[in-house]
Every structure is written in C-alpha cells, then in structure tokens.
Amino acid sequence: MNSFQPVRTIRSQVYQAIREQIISGAYPPGFWLQEQEIAATLQVSRSPVREALRQIVSDGLADEIPNKGVFVRRLTARDVDELCELRVLIEGYAIRTGYAQCGDAQRAQLESLLKAMEQAHARDDEEQYTQLDSQMHMLFVEQCGNRLIQDMYKWAYWMVQRFRVYSLKSKDRFQKSLAEHQHIVSCILNGGCEGAVQYDKTHLEQAKETIYQFLDRMEDQE
C-alpha cells in the first residue's frame, strides 16, 4: 500500500515563511507585514499571503489594526511572565511524567542532543545552538505523550522564541545556557526528575530576565 505524504499548500508554505521571519527577528516587533511586498518577495499572489496573515494573527504572532494593516506583535512584560509560567508548568509536568522511568532510547536521545549542543557551543555557532536548544525543550514535552499539552506548549514556545534569539547573543547567557542544560540532562539520566524540574525552572526564569532586558532596550530605542 502506498503511504500518503502530507501536501503543503501554497498558503501553508507562505505561513511558514512569514513565521520563520518573525521568529528569526528578520521581521522585528512592530514590523508592518505588507501583503503586496510579501507576495512579491515570495513570488506568489496576494491571496495565499492574505490567508497566511490571518493565521499569523490567529496564532498571536501579529496584530491586525483596522484601516492600518497587520503588524508583528509586541510582547509586554506581562506577556513574557505568563508565557514563562506556562512553560515552567508544562515542562515540569512533562519531565516528571515522561522521564519517571528513563529508557535506553530516551537516554540515547538526550545524550545525542546534548552532545550536539556542546559541539555547536564550542564553535560559537549561536544559530545552530538555538535550534538544538529548541529541540531539547520540545523533546521534554513530547515525552508526556499528551497531544493537547504539546499543541499548547508549541503555541507558547513560538510566541517567545523570537526573543530568545536575542537573549543568547549575550555571551554570559550563552555560557550559562549550556551549563543549565547539562544539569537538567544529568539529573534526568541519574533518576533525579525533581532536580531536573528545578534546574529547568531556573533556566527558564534566567532566560525570562534576559528577555526583559531586550524589551527594555527596545523601549529605549523608540
């Protein structure tokens, strides 16, 4: 029997392209997402761009202002607080339930991913390290096996991910981030899930403080 492969529509491809630009910081907070310019850049008609922008707004990555247009959403300190709290709760639950009995396959995944992070860190490859960091946290949440929780987490994660790109540009934060991940993984591998949860909470709260600093710098520039 032939296996079916998911078909990516033009709208979904446009949506993915816009979302990646927002998350990478290429489209910064407050940036005007002009339908005509995006269509020209991606060499598509305006219709799939219009549909993709509706989804971007629905996802909370942008705001639509009547008679003005669609703009990349600006996060407030309260937004960051609430998103961080949600991540702490979900990741803590996922680590406790998913790694209560850490099997060989799970150990291999964690060890392989951590090794890749260490190698990217040694090369000062911030872009690759950030991608691997994302994979690590997504891996934690996938272990709980609850699809609704996973979907909720992905929404919260992508909302704040665009600011994490800037947080790791701090050399001090870049150094500490790796050490924090090493502690989390070490605790999991040694059967100390509660220790891993506490290290993860500290890690997320430290990242939150760096995001606060980024928001402050943005306000000073306006």
- pLDDT score recorded for residue 179: 94
User: Is residue 3 in some structural domain?
Assistant: no
- pLDDT score recorded for residue 169: 60
pLDDT tier at 5, thresholds 50, 70, 90: very low
Convert the pLDDT of each residue in 74-122 to its tens digit. Answer: 888 888 899 889 999 999 999 999 998 888 999 999 999 999 999 999 9
Instruction: Give kind and range of the element (H or E) at residue 71.
Output: strand 69-72
202/1: higher pLDDT: 202
Q: 161 and 57 share a domain?
A: no
Sign of the four-CA dihedral 38, 39, 44, 47: positive
In the chain, the number of structural domains is 2
Cα separation, 74 vs 217, whole angstroms? 13
Q: What phi and psi, each to the nearest 5 degrees, are found at residue 72? A: -60, 130
Convert the pLDDT of each residue in 22-80 to its tens digit. Answer: 887 789 889 999 999 999 999 999 999 999 999 999 988 899 999 999 999 888 888 88
State how far the alpha carbon of 186 is from the alpha carbons of 161, 182, 190, in Å: 25, 6, 6
Query: pTM, whole model, 2 decimals?
Result: 0.79
Convert the pLDDT of each residue in 115-147 to its tens digit. Answer: 999 999 999 998 899 889 989 999 999 999 999
User: Is residue 100 in some structural domain?
Assistant: yes
User: Is residue 5 in some structural domain?
Assistant: no
Full residue range of the structural domain in which residue 33 is found: 10-72
157/162: higher pLDDT: 157
Structure tokens belonging to residue 109? 């995944």
